[in-house]
Each structure stands twice: as C-alpha cells, then as structure tokens.
Amino acid sequence: MANPTAAMLVIGDEILSGRTRDANMYHLAGELSRLGIDLQEVRVVSDNADAIIAAVKALSGGYTHVFTSGGIGPTHDDITADCIAAAFDTTIDVREDARALLAAHYESRGVEMNAARLRMARIPEGAELIDNPVSVAPGFTLGNVHVMAGVPAVFEAMVASVLPKLTGGAPLLSQTLTVHRPEGEIAGPLAELATDYPDLSIGCYPFQKDGAFGANIVVRGAEGRQINAAMTRLARDLGT
C-alpha cells in the first residue's frame, strides 16, 4: 500500500518578507520520512485570513495530514486558530483545559494571565490539544490538520508530541553516488534508470568545486534491494 501523504502550510508575513528563514520544513520533512509519511507539498501564505482558509481547505482535502506552523501566539496578527475554525466551519472560544495549562504556567512564574495570553487558549470546537513542553501554550489537531507554533524549538516539540499518534508507512531509504562529471554527460543514463525503476525517486544535484563540475545522485525508495540494484547499475553505467 502507498504511504500516507502530507502537506505543510507555513504561515507568516515574516517568512515571505525574507525577515525570517524557515527551519521548520527541513525538520518536519526528516521526521516524516523516518515515519513513512510522504511530504508532497509545502505552501507559504501571508497573515491573511482568506489565504489561510483557502489553503487549509485545499490541502486538507488532498492529503492524509496537514501540518501548519505559525500564527498561534498572543498578538493581533496570530489568526491561524480562527482560520482553522472557519475552514472547518466550527466555532472557537477559550477552552478550559487550555486556559488551565496557561494559568498554571504563568502563576508559577509570577506572570499575569492577561487578555493577550488568554488568546492562546482559544481552541476550535472538537479539536484535540497538542502538548507543548517548551512554552506550554498548546497547539491542536482538528480533522487531519495539525496546528503548531512557528518558533522552531516549540514546533519541534509539538511535532514530537504528534507523530507517535500517527500511522506511518514504509520509511524512505536513500543512497547517494557522487560523480565528477557535468550533468549533460550523465543525463541519458539517469533517464534510462528512472524509466527502468519507476518505484524509485532519482534526483541529480549538481555542484561546482575548484572549477570542476560534478553531481550528487540520490536514489530514494522504500525497498532496499531495489535501491541497491539501481546503485550498482548506476555505478557501472557511469564508470565510477
């Protein structure tokens, strides 16, 4: 059977403006590969309600899982939770279990539980909380959409909370062959290999070092024997 699929929705003007470099996609892709869930699409949208709602609807209808990052903090531009509720046509309000987590956290630090912080306890009806051992404010899962913070340390902790609850497939395996020849010389054999091994993903990633051209050829798939056979043929065909 085919592996479950996933998409990621990165939310935030700071990503699109270039102010912040996104690190969460890299982390999520690696974790999903190990679990056997195929990350097939990543979208980045601004802090615009219509854009977020449209993206959530499209992605949740097309993939087994959707992971979002960003926009669930205490400020006015943190609108992700409201948009998820709108996408699923449900209500949103402060939820007691989320409020209790935040209240205990701030009380233990002698910090006021003000209206802004209470915003982080607003959870769509029917959602399941995602644990946040870093800063307590929870994420949540509604339907097949897992809503998480944008701060990398918190995002990674939330991913670790979510993934054990998901059913994966065959973990993706890979091998790499480095050749010191330009892409134009190896394109033909690579195309033939891709045709003969349709179940494998074969990528060619060129580089230049000390004035010489080369490429890293990465063969990915779920079946180790297929990968070994493809790599053996590749080394033979390219004379490495």
The confidence score (pLDDT) of residue 13 equals 95
CATH code of the domain covering residue 197: 3.30.70.600
44 & 96 share domain: yes
30, 22, 17: which is closest to 6 by C-alpha? 30
The confidence score (pLDDT) of residue 159 equals 98
What does DSSP say about strands 122-124 and 92-94: parallel, antiparallel, or unpaired?
A: antiparallel
pLDDT tens profile 75-95: 999 999 999 999 999 999 999
The confidence score (pLDDT) of residue 210 equals 83
Indicate the pTM of the whole model.
Answer: 0.89
215 & 156 share domain: no
194 & 92 share domain: no
Q: How far apart are CA 138 and CA 124, in angstroms?
A: 12
The confidence score (pLDDT) of residue 175 equals 96
Range of 196's domain? 173-238
Name the stretches of the chain with pLDDT < 50.
none
Which pair of tokens denotes residue 39?
A: 């990350």
| Domain total of the chain | 2
The confidence score (pLDDT) of residue 5 equals 97
